[in-house]
Structure 1
Amino acid sequence: MHTSAEETVQARLILSPHRSARLRVVLTYLAEDPLAVRMAFPAEFSLDDSAEGPSGDDIVWVFGRQLLSAGLELPSGAGDVHVRPVVGRRTLVELRAPEGTALVRFDTADLRRFLWRSRLLVPEGEEHLHLDADRALAELLG
Structure 2
Amino acid sequence: MTTRRRGRLDGETRTKRTAPIDWAPSELLVIETAAAARGQSPVTFIAQAALAVASGRYRLTEGRGAAGFTPEQVTLIRQVLDEQTRVRRLLASTAGSLNQLAAASNSGVSPTTRALHAALTYLRTQLTRHQHVTNRIADLIAPR
Q: TM-score range by the shorter chain?
A: under 0.3
Structure with more of its chain in strand, by fraction: 1
The higher radius of gyration belongs to 2
Q: What is the TM-score with the length of structure 1 in the denominator?
A: 0.20
Structure with more of its chain in helix, by fraction: 2
